[in-house]
Structure 1
Amino acid sequence: MQNSLRKYAHNPTIQQTSTVNFDDLYKPMMFICQTSQFNYTKVNQHGYTGLTRFSLGLQTTNNGITSWKKLNENKSFSDLQAEMFEYNYEDFEAHFGPWNDKIGDVNSELKYLTPFGFCLSWSLLKNEVTLSSKESTSVFIIDPTYSNDLVLLGSKSVKLNFGSLGNGFYSGYKYEVQITLHDERINDGLSCIDYDRIDSSYGECIEDRMRKNMLMELGCLLPWVPDAANSSCENVKNLKMPEVFHKEISKFVYGWKIKSLLMCKQPCLRLGFKEVEIIKVLNKKNYGYAEILFYDEVKVYTDVFAYDMFSLVVDLGSALGLWLGLSALNLFSSLVDYTALARSQYFH
């Protein structure tokens, strides 16, 4: 019985496998980011040395006061941001379905994401999507639970490329991608959180933590944070940025893991992506394109308890039954011995 209780306390798990159709799956997110958007020439003209300095501001004096003004007194941060990042999605096309079988155009949303710049995003409604562009472009496919308005959490995504190769040549690719679903909801509240249950997401938790951390350390939000509005640090005079915070945000600007990310538990439901096959078609001289096909069948890995309450009750009941059985047998044996002794005493 002690061994059974110890085993149950350790919560041993096993992984069961099943399949689900792509149409029945909660849909991945796709982000399209044109590469090399940041214009270092213009940045230097305005006094910044790179993306990190532009994101964290200029230290205008030796006492560590930070500002996004200096050489740009008459420009807002959003004006500077639009000038520093050069992108053009006018010739970009995306639709669901094969190249020659246009099913429907994709409705996308433009977002600023560090460190990539301005990217298009949408939710995948079909298991096949076709993209075309003259610009060099990266495609990120991520779990929607990891999506937010600050940064792409690249460790949970697959990155595909297409577009310009330079010198008038363009790439054409056909990608096949396999999706897996990892279900660890039995650990909800322990090592992970079922964010669907609390009507939130891991990405939103990261964004919320970052906002709170900025407000606590600076009393304002860095101007590239979405909806900073009146709380933007560009409106604060004599702003000083602590060195530790500066280092943390510098890492965050480049998509690295930072301490505040550890405060949000991983989601219990996670999508995984794997490039199964890549076919390079040929170089075009008018545009680059990518046809991305997702397998219809999605493999599901579900964690279940290898030793649950029912198993514990069965083992305890068996042990208790054996113990009671032996006790009853011992009691009966003792009764027989006592009866024999009593009879012998009586007849004696």
Structure 2
Amino acid sequence: MKKQQYFRILLQAFALAAFVFQMVKSISIYISKPSQVTISTTKFEDVPRPSVIVCPQNQFYPRELNKTGYYPVFHLFGGLHDKLDDNYLTWDGENSTFDEILDAIYLERTLNSEFTFPADNPGIVKQKTFIMGRGTCYTFLNYPSKIKVFSKVQFEALVTDPGKLVDYSADMDSMVGDIHVDNDEGNSSFLLYINNIKIEMTVNEMDDGTCKNYNTDKGESYGQCMDTYLAGVYKPELGCVPPWMSHKDQCKGIVGPVSKTTRSNLVNTSELVLDGFQISQPPECPPPCQTFLLSAVQKSKPRKVLGANILKIYFEDTVTVKRLVPGYTELNLLVDLGSALGLWLGLSFIGIADLIMECFNKVKMDKFSLC
């Protein structure tokens, strides 16, 4: 009899140990937040549009910059005026504001180039924005899957993920997975076309803090987050924000005295952005949870034509949607718990409920008895 009891106790100990081992393993998997990818397709009309940006070429006028007291151009964005000593900064000239200087050195800001669309491209809206190093550019909104653009001036075009853009900067040369064309050959008028652009949209639904769902209905965006971040970096010392970094609390007149570190950081940041690179992404501004990967089956070299500069961009009608979803959820953990309880301890939900009720009744009948 004692051998049977010992054997039963040994089996119970083994079952309990196996239950604990399985649950520790399941909880470890749950804590690690594994993911899985689901793939589907949808229509082009049913997804957000990538950003289509065109920038007229040859906007910058160095001779005008020489008249402003800033040279080279990153001195303007760094606030380094020739007639100020190293302890002070300003983004205004002697007799002009920062915006007036930009109007003088980037001629396109005052020319307002005309982009026209054929009759089969109704409803396209162009939104003007200033991009450092290039000048005034235009973002096309509400466009169909096939875009045709006519322009009186030569331009370069970029099709990119809108989540990568901030108000002052767009990397026209080195954005991986994006599509960039320009008229390198210098034709007087030219045709550019990008054919069969494939869109792959990835939606991260992991909720693990690696990305953020910016509420666009409330005006939230990655660009706005970067504005707020940069304001927090420079405003405590300057009392204002360099005018190209933010639309709020912009610096006016002479600012200072400032530390050598702040001055150096401003110059380095200005050079970085003017060269077409994004500012390093701070933890305060995680990337959007919805991203785009673009690829073109065919991209043309400029071809000389008569009359006008022409851009044609054709998107494929279907979009591949990849969703990154949790691979092990609370429900999976509950299923594993139930399986382990049934396999190793012989318990089920009903069995546990009956055991609790039986224990409760015994205590109720005799408050001194033990379950």
TM-aligned CA deviation for residue 138 of structure 1: 1.5
- Residue in 1 aligned with 2:215? 196
Could you tell me which amino acid in structure 2 is paired with residue 184 of structure 1?
Answer: N
Q: How does 1:61-80 map to 2 (within 5 A)?
A: 61-68=84-91, 72-80=93-101
Per-residue CA distance 1:181-219 (angstroms, 9 max, x = gap): 10112225x211111388422222112212332322321
Distance across 2 between alignment mates of 1:169 and 1:103: 22
TM-aligned CA deviation for residue 40 of structure 1: 1.2
1:143 aligned to 133, 142, 161, which one? 161
Are residue 221 (structure 1) and residue 241 (structure 2) matched? yes
Are residue 177 (structure 1) and residue 197 (structure 2) matched? yes
- Residue in 2 aligned with 1:320? 341
RMSD: 2.9
Distance across 1 between alignment mates of 2:308 and 2:183: 7
Q: How does 1:229-248 map to 2 (within 5 A)?
A: 231-238=249-256, 240=258, 242-246=262-266, 247-248=268-269
Secondary structure of 1:291's counterpart equals strand
Secondary structure of 2:55's counterpart equals strand
2:129 aligned to 97, 102, 111, which one? 111
Does the C-alpha gap of structure 1 residues 166 and 139 become closer, same or farther in structure 2, counting only changes over 3 Å? closer
For the 8 Å contact 1:172–1:284, the answer to whether it is kept is no
Secondary structure of 1:292's counterpart equals strand
- Stretches of structure 1 that go unaligned for 5 or more consecutive residues are 329-348
TM-aligned CA deviation for residue 156 of structure 1: 7.0
Distance across 2 between alignment mates of 1:198 and 1:316: 41
TM-aligned CA deviation for residue 320 of structure 1: 1.2
2:62 aligned to 14, 17, 40, which one? 40
For the 8 Å contact 2:195–2:296, the answer to whether it is kept is yes
Distance across 2 between alignment mates of 1:169 and 1:107: 24
- Residue in 2 aligned with 1:31? 53
TM-aligned CA deviation for residue 309 of structure 1: 2.2
Per-residue CA distance 1:143-184 (angstroms, 9 max, x = gap): 334444222266377243245843535234343311111011
For the 8 Å contact 2:160–2:179, the answer to whether it is kept is no
- Give the percent of matched residue pairs that are identical in Structure 1 and Structure 2: 23
Secondary structure of 1:307's counterpart equals coil
Secondary structure of 1:267's counterpart equals coil
For the 8 Å contact 1:59–1:66, the answer to whether it is kept is no
Secondary structure of 1:193's counterpart equals coil
Are residue 121 (structure 1) and residue 139 (structure 2) matched? yes
TM-aligned CA deviation for residue 83 of structure 1: 0.7
Does the C-alpha gap of structure 1 residues 281 and 205 become closer, same or farther in structure 2, counting only changes over 3 Å? closer
- Residue in 2 aligned with 1:85? 106
Distance across 2 between alignment mates of 1:64 and 1:272: 45
- Residue in 1 aligned with 2:38? 16
Number of residue-to-residue matches in the alignment: 318
For the 8 Å contact 1:146–1:201, the answer to whether it is kept is no
- Residue in 1 aligned with 2:78? 56
Q: Which moved more, 1:86-95 or 1:317-326?
A: 86-95
TM-score between the two structures when normalised by the length of structure 2:
0.75
For the 8 Å contact 1:164–1:287, the answer to whether it is kept is no
Are residue 210 (structure 1) and residue 233 (structure 2) matched? no
Secondary structure of 2:313's counterpart equals strand
- Residue in 2 aligned with 1:301? 322
Q: Which moved more, 1:144-153 or 1:173-182?
A: 144-153
Q: Which moved more, 1:82-91 or 1:115-124?
A: 82-91
Does the C-alpha gap of structure 1 residues 265 and 298 become closer, same or farther in structure 2, counting only changes over 3 Å? same
Secondary structure of 1:208's counterpart equals helix
Distance across 1 between alignment mates of 2:116 and 2:146: 11
Could you tell me which amino acid in structure 1 is paired with residue 127 of structure 2?
Answer: E
Distance across 2 between alignment mates of 1:204 and 1:90: 25
Does the C-alpha gap of structure 1 residues 75 and 62 become closer, same or farther in structure 2, counting only changes over 3 Å? closer
Secondary structure of 2:125's counterpart equals coil
Could you tell me which amino acid in structure 2 is paired with residue 113 of structure 1?
Answer: I
Could you tell me which amino acid in structure 2 is paired with residue 24 of structure 1?
Answer: D
Distance across 2 between alignment mates of 1:310 and 1:148: 40
TM-aligned CA deviation for residue 262 of structure 1: 4.1
For the 8 Å contact 1:172–1:280, the answer to whether it is kept is yes
TM-score between the two structures when normalised by the length of structure 1:
0.80
Q: Which moved more, 1:131-140 or 1:152-161?
A: 152-161
Q: Which moved more, 1:9-18 or 1:36-45?
A: 36-45
Does the C-alpha gap of structure 1 residues 128 and 165 become closer, same or farther in structure 2, counting only changes over 3 Å? same
